[in-house]
Chains A and B, each alone.
Chain A
């Protein structure tokens, strides 16, 4: 089975925006992969004038929120870093039983890479040389912030469009709809304690599932 990969446009976010941005993106992707009977739920973002859709499954929401919290914790420990979150959809196949192998195998058929550049919020000036600028800061800062926010909103919308386009263009690899399965099983991979470990983890997974597209 082919594993389609989508690299989403990088977003520059501040740490307080991570939660909303990730929720929006992850839920939108999962919604497109929830092919069972669902009752969509519209969610208005608080920071942006964007409405995204959830599939309405509590487990999905819980899982996504948990991972986002983990990611935010990781970001706090590793500031100013570009990071990647991977949302992978897989199918579960039972292997031929043998002595030393797991009976259940995950076959990844789609992976979404969400690229975030987490910016540190502008720190208040510390040195005396900046002191004179302090008076002007609030207005400038808010203006800058709002323009940055607008840019991020646009970028986020672009990412959502990107998801829609990808979903539209790539349909063949999506497994057939199974009765009773509300959403395709997925996992969310966040950077672990170190980037290298994250990479290693991904590498191991790729080797394990043996996706040609990932190796390529």
Chain B
């Protein structure tokens, strides 16, 4: 009875001991790998548990993984690393050998491989880590000459002393022995934990881990299935540290390390690669100057705003000679913006312009653009008409964020619009060579063009041809409305001439778009500057122009505008307008202005003619006739 009890006890103790041994192997391996696999270590997380890796932080303080409880040592989880070795399949009698290999890469040849192999090893994700290990197997073949084993850890369970240990400590109760064994194993693992950080290889690991540079060497821990014994010479070069074995019920746990001294190891250090090599990668900000700018407002405050905008104008100007190519530009920014906006953009035009003034932009967008449209490539130079819808839809989606940055010095609004803004340029360009950065001016001018165009070609507002115009006016309507709603809008634009003109043209464009039938009582919102006033007056005058043709009785309004705002310098205002227009790359608008003035003159002539004819009929009224022009 008692013997059977003892036997069962022994069995259970044996199983427990076996489990402790297994866990000891696993923990040892974990400790070694964690401190030898760059970017996998707890040192990255040790400074503050709160900034641990997801796995580690999830298990921080409050939650304890079952494996952490073993030997009371919570390590950063790298299950993939452990699983990849699959020590579960190992026999506990088989020694576990971990070689830490210093792999020296050829300087240039392996650059590409680096991204495939080295990066994988660096990667935190367990999967990549694992694949990194697989790739190391490949490297065994091609880079063997550049490898050096700098550490060899051997964990083994030595059961040769079974009889001895049993006989020597047979008096102790087995449970007590288990406790002692467990305690000693715990102590040994703590020593191991400290030891791995004292050995020279840790300095390499630290260097690889801490710097963002690419080294021509890397540290690769391996668990070879077939252990190649060191030559006598090699062994002589290495130093050995053997931990005091932990006695178990039927054997002992041994842990030892052979390591190279620091001088041997440090000679392998190489000058790190120049970091500029990486920064030139395709798609990097350095590779494409355009790419840089969208990110600038994100990282800085208001200063980047204007350079940002200017850069856009500049970049546009640079490409102006071939606008369609810009829209097709493979630049990352554009593709980014494309990614952001192009899906809606690639859809068809709003079916009918009559929908346009109704509802909010998004709503109307949803209504107007069924999602089943084709995703056409960027507009080609030969298809400007097709480009227009894209542009429209871009502006359609853009105003949600674009308007504010374009006109307001509000950096918080600028940042998110960076991509959209670019996309807007791209979309606008195919239309009419519009000014890129000054979308307000651009839209304004576009509208002017549209009106001109409208007058010349269609003559009827809600026509199919006018849909681009309407879309633009719609978007700008919204955006300008946003601008005016924003209390920050009156902020001084004291920086750029372009901006001033933009701003000047804005109220006009607002008037145009906001409500065409709106009475011209918004002069109070015009900027106080004389230039502004002049441009405002000009715009208003232009606005007044069309009805003049239709209704002769309103012909006196342009005069009033001139008188109210800047009656002295109509020509100056005209110049400013032209300047801004040319600066934005719009030659058409100047033509429009000229047309409008011409038209005005013709109206005045008509009026004069009428008055004269009246005066001829009634001579007393001649003296009161308001001839100004």
Chain A residues with a Cβ under 8 A of chain B: 28, 31-32, 34-44, 49-53, 56, 157, 160-161, 163-164, 167-169, 171, 174, 176-177
Q: Nearest Cβ distance between residue A1 and chain B, in whole angstroms? A: 15
Given A40-B73, A164-B194, decide whether A177 and B186 contact each other with a Cβ distance below 8 A.
Answer: yes
CA of A89 to CA of B112, assembled, Å: 55
Quick one: given A38-B72, A42-B46, A51-B206, are A168 and B198 in contact (CB under 8 Å)? no
Contact of B191 among A34, A52, A168 (CB under 8 A): A168
| Bound-state Cα–Cα, A40 to B193, Å | 9
Query: From residue A61, how far is it (CB to closest CB) to chain B in Å?
Result: 13
- Does the CB pair A43–B183 fall under 8 Å? no
Q: Distance (Å) between the CB of B153 and the closest chain A CB?
A: 15
Tell whether B372 is near chain A: CB-to-CB under 8 Å: no
Q: What 1/0 flags go to B158-188 for Cβ under 8 Å of A? A: 0000000000000000000001101110111
Closest to B74 in A: A39
B183 touching A168, Cβ below 8 Å: no
Q: How far apart are A212's CB and chain B's nearest CB, in angstroms?
A: 23
Closest to A164 in B: B191
| Complex contact B187–A174 (CB within 8 A) | yes
Interchain Cβ contacts under 8 Å between A and B, 6 examples: A31-B194, A37-B72, A42-B197, A53-B193, A53-B194, A177-B186
A24 to chain B, nearest CB (A): 11
| Residue B42 is within 8 A (CB to CB) of chain A in the complex | yes
Task: Assess whether A37 is in contact with B184, with CB atoms less than 8 Å apart.
Answer: no
Residue with the greatest number of chain B CB neighbours at <10 A, chosen from A35, A44, A168: A168
In the complex, besides A32-B191, A168-B191, 15 extra interface pairs with C-beta distance below 8 angstroms are: A31-B194, A32-B187, A36-B72, A38-B74, A40-B46, A40-B74, A41-B46, A42-B47, A43-B46, A160-B198, A161-B198, A168-B187, A171-B184, A174-B187, A176-B179
Name B61's closest neighbour in chain A (CB-CB): A39
Contact residues in B for A40 (Cβ distance below 8 Å): 42, 46, 73-75, 193
Q: Is the CB of A168 within 8 A of B186?
A: no
A31 to B197, CA, bound (A): 13
Q: Mark B40-69, 1 if CB is under 8 A from A, else 0.
A: 011100110100000000001100100011
**Which of A43, A50, A164, A176 has the most chain B CB atoms inside 10 A of its CB?**
A164
Cα–Cα distance between A39 and B184 once the two chains are bound (Å): 19
With a CB–CB cut-off of 8 A, which chain B residues contact A168?
A: 187-188, 191, 243-244
> Does B222 lie at the interface of the complex (its beta carbon under 8 Å from any beta carbon of A)?
no
List of A residues within 8 angstroms of B206 by Cβ: 44, 51
Complex: chain B residue closest to A172, CB-CB? B180
Determine whether B203 belongs to the interface, using a CB cutoff of 8 Å to chain A.
Answer: yes
Asked whether any CB of chain A lies closer than 8 Å to the CB of B287, the reply is no
Give the complex CA separation of A35 and B195 in angstroms.
Answer: 17
Residues on the B chain within 8 Å of A161, using CB: 198
Is B484 at the interface (CB under 8 A from chain A)? no
Most buried by A among B43, B68, B184: B43
Query: Which of chain A's residues have a CB closer than 8 A to the CB of B68?
Result: 37
Q: Which of B43, B60, B74, B187 contacts A171 (CB 8 A)?
A: B187
Instruction: Name the distance in Å between A57's Cβ and chain B's nearest Cβ.
Output: 11
Check: B202 CB closer than 8 A to any chain A CB.
Answer: yes
Alpha-carbon separation in the docked complex, A157 to B41 (Å): 21
**Interface status of B190 (Cβ within 8 A of chain A):** yes
Would A160 and B191 count as touching, CB distance under 8 A? no
User: Which residues of B have CB within 8 Å of A53?
Assistant: 193-194, 197
Pairs A-B, 9 closest by C-beta atoms: A168-B244, A42-B46, A42-B43, A37-B72, A51-B197, A41-B46, A39-B74, A164-B191, A171-B184
Q: Which residues of B contact A169 (CB under 8 A)?
A: 244
- Would A171 and B202 be within 8 Å (CB), given that A37-B72, A40-B46 are in contact? no
| Nearest Cβ on chain A to B448's Cβ, whole angstroms | 66
Decide if A35 touches B243 in the complex (CB within 8 Å).
no
Given contacts A171-B183, A174-B183, contact A32 B244 (CB under 8 A): no
> In the bound complex, how far is the Cα of B197 from the Cα of A169, in angstroms?
20
Q: Is the CB of A37 within 8 A of B244?
A: no
Give, as a whole number of angstroms, the nearest-CB distance from B257 to chain A: 11
Residue on A with the closest CB to B207? A49
- Bitwise, B308-352 to A at CB < 8 A (1) or not (0) is 000000000000000000000000000000000000000000000
Contact of B194 among A32, A35, A36, A38 (CB under 8 A): A32
Q: Which residue of B lies closest to A54 (CB)?
A: B46
Residues of B within 8 A of A167 (CB): 187, 190-191
Taking the closest CB of chain B, its distance from the CB of A152, in whole angstroms, is: 15
CB proximity of B166 to chain A, nearest CB, Å: 18
Tell whether, in the assembled complex, residue B64 and residue A37 are in contact, meaning their CB atoms are under 8 Å apart: yes
Cα–Cα, bound, A163→B195 (Å)? 10
Q: What is the distance, in angstroms, from A28's C-beta to the closest C-beta of chain B?
A: 6
Residue in chain B with minimal CB distance to A175: B183
Q: Which of B47, B49, B198, B206 has the most CB of A within 10 A?
A: B198
* Complex Cα gap A177–B72 (Å): 10
CB closest chain-B residue, reference A44: B206
8 Å CB interface, B2-61 against A: 41-43, 46-47, 49, 60-61
In the assembled complex, the CB of B557 is this many whole angstroms from the nearest CB of chain A, namely: 78
- Chain B's nearest CB lies how many Å from the CB of A101? 31
CB distance from B178 to the nearest CB of A (A): 11
The smallest beta-carbon distance between A107 and chain B, in angstroms, is 18
**A residues less than 8 Å from B202 (CB atoms):** 51
Q: Is the CB of B46 within 8 A of A31?
A: no
Min Cβ gap B296→A in Å is: 35
On chain B, the residues within 8 Å of A34 by CB distance are 190
Residue of A nearest to B60 (CB): A39
Give every chain B residue within 8 A of A51 (Cβ-Cβ).
43, 197-198, 202, 206
| B195 pairs with A177, CB closer than 8 A | no
Once the chains bind, are B187 and A52 in contact (CB under 8 Å)? Answer: no
Complex Cα spacing A171 to B179, Å: 13
Which residues of chain B come closer than 8 Å to A164, judged between CB atoms? 191, 194-195, 198
Interfacial chain B residues near A157, Cβ < 8 Å: 198
CA distance A171 to B186 in the complex (A): 10
Which residue of chain B is the closest to A53 with respect to CB atoms? B194
For A50, what are the chain B residues with a Cβ–Cβ distance below 8 Å?
Answer: 198
Complex contacts, B75 vs chain A, CB 8 Å: 40
Whole-angstrom CA separation of A174 from B73 in the bound complex: 17
- Does B244 contact A28, Cβ atoms closer than 8 Å? no
Pick from A35, A39, A163: contact of B183, CB below 8 A. A35
| In the bound complex, CA of A114 to CA of B164 (Å) | 38
B residues in contact with A32, CB < 8 Å = 187, 190-191, 194
Task: Report how far A50 CA is from B198 CA in the complex, Å.
Answer: 7
Within 8 A of A (CB), among B191-215: 191, 193-195, 197-198, 202-203, 206
CA distance A208 to B190 in the complex (A): 31
Query: Quick one: closest B residue to A166, CB to CB?
Result: B191
CA distance A165 to B69 in the complex (A): 25
| Contact indicator B203/A49 (Cβ below 8 Å) | yes
Q: Which residues of B contact A36 (CB under 8 A)?
A: 72
